Amino acid sequence: MSGPSDQVKALLRAHASGDEDLFYSVALQLAAQSARRGHSKVALELRELIDKSRSEQVHRGQPTPIGSPRGELSELLAISYPDSGLSKMVLSDEISATLNRVIHEQRQRDQLLRHGFVPAHRLLLTGLPGTGKSMTAAALANELSLPLMTIRLDGVMSRFLGESASKLRLIFDEVARRRAVYLFDEFDALGSDRGATNDIGETRRILNSFLLFLDEAPSESVLIAATNHMSLLDPALFRRFDAVVSYALPGREESVSVIQRRLASMDSTRVNWDRVSGEAHDLSHSDLVKAAERAAKDAILSGSSNIETSLLLSSLVARRKPGID
């Protein structure tokens, strides 16, 4: 009889090959084996987990294959399963409201579809680097319990005429086949004439194919295009999206929240937050997280869990200088 480690290996193999039936059958064997060994509580929990995840798939109406993209697709898409949601982000009220609305519509999409309405599923995220665009895509995937598929646009843009459009088709076939959040990062590579190819005609054609696919994409999956070069995008593009979300540098209060969240495991009761927020201007969320991390590491390595104002101030100043961590 095979031992638990064989079954864990079999589970992993089934997962890696994307064979769901095999995956569940091995999982059921594992539950049966636990029962035989007298671990009835574990067996029961396993069976409940299996039933729950199977019924969720049926409920979704379309199975979500568990494997990673294979073949040519694997060069175009990277799959991940983000583990933190929107609550980990510091967002303006306006952005929060837009994102929560998308989540709500997606969660209730059956109800909307029954009445002939389509849930929001195409988002354009624009704004400066490090303000949370990629993080938003990950957080939406987490909130909707979907995998995040990040599209490698450099892989899509081909020097060879016609090839890019067929790669896009492959990606959009996957969009229709597998419910997920799809992130087209650095979308401006498609949306402008700045693409990897110097042939403007070709870039236009790719963009046009993208827009056609976007129009036809089923509302099951969420499609997110992100860019920090809004000005390079043709404004006619914007109306193709259900929502355009603009990310800005954090204001004073937001800056303090970003730093405080990153320092949650430290003692920062002595910090003068007024002075810190005064030094935080013009820095992105990402810069602030990194400055907070630097201050925390300095404190820890000098044997303290206490964050001093001066330490944070010097980390913020260092963040503005190029070439520092």
Ligand X SMILES: Nc1ncnc2c1ncn2[C@@H]1O[C@H](COP(=O)(O)OP(=O)(O)OP(=O)(O)O)[C@@H](O)[C@H]1O
Residue with Cβ nearer ligand X (46 or 99): 99
Pairing of strands 77-80, 122-127: unpaired
| Side chain identity at residue 305, one-letter code | S
135 binds, among Mg ion, ligand X, none (CB under 5 to 8 A by kind): ligand X
Q: Which of residues 214-233 bind ligand X (CB under 6 A)?
A: 228
278 binds, among Mg ion, ligand X, none (CB under 5 to 8 A by kind): none
Rounded to a whole number of angstroms, the minimum distance from the CB of residue 153 to ligand X is: 12
Using CB under 5 A as the binding rule, whether residue 227 contacts Mg ion is answered as no
Rounded to a whole number of angstroms, the minimum distance from the CB of residue 253 to ligand X is: 13
Q: 């987990």: which residue's tokens? A: 49
Residue selected from 46, 66, 120, 135 as contacting ligand X according to rule CB under 6 A = 135
CA dist 226 and 189 (Å) reads: 10
Question: Strand (E) positions, the chain?
Answer: 77-80, 122-127, 148-151, 181-184, 222-227, 243-247
Pairing of strands 243-247, 148-151: unpaired
Residue selected from 144, 165, 249, 289 as contacting ligand X according to rule CB under 6 A = 289
Q: Which of residues 118-137 bind Mg ion (CB under 5 A)?
A: 133-134
89 binds, among Mg ion, ligand X, none (CB under 5 to 8 A by kind): ligand X
Residue selected from 4, 63, 129, 162 as contacting ligand X according to rule CB under 6 A = 129
Residue with Cβ nearer ligand X (31 or 237): 237
Binding residues with ligand X: total (CB under 6 A): 15
CA dist 153 and 185 (Å) reads: 7
Using CB under 6 A as the binding rule, whether residue 122 contacts ligand X is answered as no
Interior CA angle at 132 toward 100 and 320, to 5°?
Answer: 150
> Rounded to the nearest 5°, which phi and psi values hold at 311?
-65, -45
Q: Using CB under 6 A, which of the segments 44-52, 124-132, 159-167, 217-225 binds ligand X? A: 124-132
Q: Which residues does 259 contact at the CB level (< 8 Å), separation at least 6?
A: 276, 280, 288, 289, 291, 292, 312
Q: How many Cα atoms sit within 13 Å of 11 on the Cβ side?
A: 15
Rounded to a whole number of angstroms, the minimum distance from the CB of residue 212 to ligand X is: 26
Q: What is the DSSP string of 228-296?
A: S-GGGS-GGGGGGSSEEEEE----HHHHHHHHHHHTTTSB-TT--HHHHHHH-TT--HHHHHHHHHHHH
Q: Using CB under 6 A, which of the segments 101-109, 208-216, 285-293, 301-309 binds ligand X? A: 285-293
Residue with Cβ nearer ligand X (1 or 264): 264
Q: Which of residues 134-153 bind Mg ion (CB under 5 A)?
A: 134
CB 106 within 8 A of CB 60: no
Residue with Cβ nearer Mg ion (226 or 271): 226
Using CB under 6 A as the binding rule, whether residue 134 contacts ligand X is answered as yes
Using CB under 6 A as the binding rule, whether residue 286 contacts ligand X is answered as yes
Nearest residue (beta carbon) to Mg ion: 134
Residue selected from 26, 89, 140, 249 as contacting ligand X according to rule CB under 6 A = 89
| Side chain identity at residue 136, one-letter code | T
Terminal C-alpha separation, the chain: 54
Using CB under 5 A as the binding rule, whether residue 255 contacts Mg ion is answered as no
**Cα dihedral: 43, 49, 50, 53 (round 10):** 180
- Interface contacts to ligand X, rule CB under 6 A: 89-91, 129-135, 228, 258, 285-286, 289
- Interface contacts to Mg ion, rule CB under 5 A: 133-134
